[in-house]
Amino acid sequence: MSLAYNTNLKNKLTSQCKNCSLSSLCLPLVLKDEDINCLDQIIERKKPLKKGDFLFHQGDPFESIYAVRTGTLKVFNMTDSGEEQITTFYYPGELLGLSGINTKVYPISAKAIETTTVCEIPFYRLEELSNKIPTLKNQLFKIMSRQICDGQQMIVLLGKKNADEKVASLLMNIGLRFKRRGYSGTSFRLSMSRNEISNYLGLAIETVSRVMTRFQKKGLIKANGKEISITNLEEIQKLAGVITEYDNTSNT
Amino acid sequence: MSLAYNTNLKNKLTSQCKNCSLSSLCLPLVLKDEDINCLDQIIERKKPLKKGDFLFHQGDPFESIYAVRTGTLKVFNMTDSGEEQITTFYYPGELLGLSGINTKVYPISAKAIETTTVCEIPFYRLEELSNKIPTLKNQLFKIMSRQICDGQQMIVLLGKKNADEKVASLLMNIGLRFKRRGYSGTSFRLSMSRNEISNYLGLAIETVSRVMTRFQKKGLIKANGKEISITNLEEIQKLAGVITEYDNTSNT
DNA sequence: CGATTGCTTGAGTGTCATCAACTAGAGTGG
DNA sequence: CCACTCTAGTTGATGACACTCAAGCAATCG
């Protein structure tokens, strides 16, 4: 609907999961070679989305989930009063659209916030394939479980944290996601605007701006527009809390 | 860990899913008779939890998911600063614990807020069983998808709504959950304390109290302690927004 | 019966939102 | 090339909504 790119380009690029640098983050993680080939066959690499393009709209019939290859997407929910609330950003290697399975309709919209490419995975074919490949099914369980966790962390952020803590959490979280892909976790470029950040964090844009300059004055970060580098990681971590990841299995 | 009830009572009550009044909400929803029997065999009905008992603690190794039979549980997350943030309440027919799949450790704690009984479903046996019963697997996908949706709705609530809207949303949401089980959606007993409500909604307890009395003065509800009845549903709905359920597939 | 717990109500305060003005950069067109 | 516009972001002044502190009430409990 939102995109009619299911053109001749389909399957042209098949058999790439194996070579994809993101496979360690994405579905193929635990699959055997032959299984990856099966997966490859149902995946469609799509034409890039430009900044502002929708991947799907809230209310569209749910047909596929998507894996981000490059770029960034924001996922947001329209309230009845017409405001949008961003619920997540999606970076390369991450899977989106899973919240549509239940109602067969996407309950949220997804929009590229910079040039972005995705792999489309028709869900009903994935479901079929997961009958044959239990590992794939288990991997899906894990991914969905993770997204539930992430949601819970976001609830904590919105329910309990003040402006400073929220911004610090965002920086840490994005840093970790860069790190996971092999980039610096302390020096990166924010792909989203201040406006999007403020929306996501449940703050006013002015507040985000003020927090950023305050952080700079205190020497916690250096910010030059969207270029961020964390100069006092410890302090940022302290502000953020342990939120961002559950690598720490040793929580009472 | 938190509970050592895996006693002789195990499996005594087997083969009950079929007769359980909640089966229409829970896993068996779409299963054939023979499949329900399989499911029945791996489920353990547990001794009731008293108010305040933990079902599991944040950090416990993940082994099972649970279906609520009677009562209510709260699920909450401990922040490093020691505060707790309630992320969800669980009512009869609902499944909890799924967020533990990813890390094999529960990332949250679950505690009974009144006398509560649950069915324990060892996850690894469920996973096995779902290899044999694709419908069961699909049902699990749906349930997890739904929980992701619910999380997104909660993010909207915390990010965009004011105190009145938050409380109205809670009342609507709980009402709908009662209705789903065949009770009145407008007249019910809150099983949680004001304190728990305020925590859940990201408000101070005093604010919740004030909103409640304001609602009463305006004739929107009648509240007598935990007994609530919504006397002006339309107005409450308007305040709440469309949030609570996705029965409306016709959202642009 | 005092003690405790859960809830309500009031008064004062603070954090963050709102409103507004201003800067900087990018794109447009004369 | 300059003026113009538009967008994104920063900064300042003001105020509101919800928090904190505090007191009081009702019900339950030991």
Per residue in B178-193, pLDDT (tens digit) is 999 999 999 999 999 9
Tokens matching residue B8: 């002789």
Q: What confidence category does residue A51 fall into, taking pLDDT thresholds of 50, 70 and 90?
A: very high
Instruction: Output the DSSP codes for chain A.
Output: ------STTTTTT-S-GGG-TTTTTSGGGG--HHHHHHHHHH-EE-PPBPTT-EEE-TTSBP-EEEEEEES-EEEEEE-TTS-EEEEEEE-TT-EE-GGGTTTTB-SSEEEESSSBEEEEEEHHHHHHHHHH-HHHHHHHHHHHHHHHHHHHHHHHHHHH--HHHHHHHHHHHHHHHHHHTTS-SSEEE--S-HHHHHHHHTS-HHHHHHHHHHHHHTTSEEEETTEEEES-HHHHHHHH-STT--------
Q: What confidence category does residue A166 fall into, taking pLDDT thresholds of 50, 70 and 90?
A: very high
Distance of residue B221 Cα from the nearest chain A Cα, in angstroms: 22
Looking across all nucleic acid strands, the nucleotide with the smallest C1' to CA distance from residue A161 is: C15
B116 strand-pairing partners: B49
Distance CA B67, CA A229 (A): 45
Question: Which positions in strand D are less than 7 Å from the protein's CB atoms?
Answer: 8-13, 17-22
Tokens matching residue B112: 């009974």
Distance CA B2, CA A104 (A): 37
Of B80, B159, B201, the CB nearest to A202: B159
The per-residue pLDDT for A15 is: 55
Distance of residue A193 Cα from the nearest chain B Cα, in angstroms: 18
The per-residue pLDDT for B248 is: 37
Numbered ranges of CATH 1.10.10.10 in chain A: 159-240
A38 touches chain B (CB under 8 A): no
Q: Are B203 and B158 in contact (CB under 8 A)?
A: no
Q: Are A51 and A114 in contact (CB under 8 A)?
A: yes
Of B99, B159, B201, the CB nearest to A152: B99
Of A59, A154, A250, the CB nearest to B250: A59
| Range A189-217 average pLDDT | 97
Q: What is the average pLDDT value for chain B, to the nearest integer?
A: 88
The per-residue pLDDT for A47 is: 82
Distance CA A221, CA A231 (A): 5
Numbered ranges of CATH 2.60.120.10 in chain B: 3-146
Q: What confidence category does residue A80 fall into, taking pLDDT thresholds of 50, 70 and 90?
A: confident
A101 touches chain B (CB under 8 A): yes
Strand D contact at CB of residue B206, distance < 7 A: yes
pTM (2 decimals)? 0.90
Say whether pLDDT at B172 is over 50. yes
Whether A151 sits inside 8 A of B148 (CB atoms) is yes
The per-residue pLDDT for A243 is: 44
The per-residue pLDDT for B203 is: 97
Q: What confidence category does residue A32 fall into, taking pLDDT thresholds of 50, 70 and 90?
A: confident
B141 touches chain A (CB under 8 A): yes
Distance CA B34, CA B32 (A): 6
Taking alpha carbons only, the member of B216, B192, B196, B215 closest to residue B204 is: B196
Q: What confidence category does residue A30 fall into, taking pLDDT thresholds of 50, 70 and 90?
A: confident
Distance CA B122, CA B63 (A): 6
The distance (Å) linking the CA of A203 with the C1' of C18 is 12
Query: Any idea what the Cα angle at residue B12 is, between residues B8 and B13, rounded to 5°?
Result: 140
The per-residue pLDDT for B22 is: 84
Count interface pairs A-B at CB distance under 8 A: 174
Distance CA A123, CA A132 (A): 15
Whether A127 sits inside 8 A of B141 (CB atoms) is yes
Distance CA B182, CA A199 (A): 38
Say whether pLDDT at A71 is over 90. yes
- Find residues 182-211 of chain B whose CB sits inside 8 Å of chain A: 199-202
Taking alpha carbons only, the member of B147, B19, B154, B39 closest to residue B95 is: B147
Q: Are A129 and A136 in contact (CB under 8 A)?
A: yes
| Range B128-135 average pLDDT | 92
| Range A56-73 average pLDDT | 96
Class for the domain spanning B3-146 = mainly beta
The per-residue pLDDT for B15 is: 54
Q: What's the pLDDT tens digit per position in A7-29?
A: 444 444 445 788 888 888 888 77
The per-residue pLDDT for A198 is: 97
- Find residues 213-252 of chain A whose CB sits inside 8 Å of chain B: 241-243, 246, 249-252
Tokens matching residue A87: 């619920």
Tokens matching residue A181: 């892909």
Q: What is the average pLDDT value for chain A, to the nearest integer?
A: 88
Say whether pLDDT at A248 is over 50. no
| Range B9-27 average pLDDT | 69
Distance of residue A127 Cα from the nearest chain B Cα, in angstroms: 8
Q: What confidence category does residue B81 fall into, taking pLDDT thresholds of 50, 70 and 90?
A: confident
Q: What confidence category does residue A242 fall into, taking pLDDT thresholds of 50, 70 and 90?
A: low
Q: Are B73 and B96 in contact (CB under 8 A)?
A: yes
The per-residue pLDDT for A140 is: 94
- Phi and psi, residue A96, nearest 5°: -130, 160
Tokens 């995705």, residue located: A118
Q: What's the pLDDT tens digit per position in B30-52?
A: 788 888 888 888 998 888 999 99
What's the Cα-to-Cα distance from B197 to each of B60, B113, B191, rounded to whole Å? 25, 12, 10
- Residue B248 or A80, more confident: A80
Lowest mean pLDDT among A174-188, B37-51, B58-72: B37-51
Q: Which helix (H) or strand (E) holds B119?
A: strand B117-122
Question: What counts of helices (H) and strands (E) characterise chain A?
Answer: 7, 11
Of A81, A102, A241, the CB nearest to B80: A241
| Range B217-222 average pLDDT | 95
B140 touches chain A (CB under 8 A): yes
Q: What confidence category does residue B18 fall into, taking pLDDT thresholds of 50, 70 and 90?
A: confident
Lowest mean pLDDT among B23-32, B116-125, B210-219: B23-32
The per-residue pLDDT for B1 is: 45
Please give the single-letter amino acid code of residue B196.
E
Residue nearest to nucleotide C17 (CA to C1'): A204
Q: Are B97 and B75 in contact (CB under 8 A)?
A: no
Contacts of B148 in chain A (CB under 8 A): 98-99, 144, 147-148, 151
Say whether pLDDT at B228 is over 50. yes
Please give the single-letter amino acid code of residue B92.
P
Architecture label for domain A159-240: Orthogonal Bundle (1.10)
B102 touches chain A (CB under 8 A): yes
Q: What confidence category does residue B11 fall into, taking pLDDT thresholds of 50, 70 and 90?
A: very low
Say whether pLDDT at A156 is over 90. yes
Say whether pLDDT at A131 is over 60. yes
Of B59, B148, B242, the CB nearest to A80: B242
Distance CA B29, CA B158 (A): 32
| Range B157-165 average pLDDT | 96
Contacts of B249 in chain A (CB under 8 A): 59, 103-105
Q: What confidence category does residue B242 fall into, taking pLDDT thresholds of 50, 70 and 90?
A: low
Question: What percentage of residues in chain A have a pLDDT greater than 70?
Answer: 90
| Range B144-167 average pLDDT | 96
Which residues of the protein are close to the nucleic strand C, CB under 7 angstroms?
Answer: A 162-164, 202-204, 206-207; B 193-195, 205-206, 208-210, 212-213, 223, 225-226
- Phi and psi, residue A167, nearest 5°: -65, -45
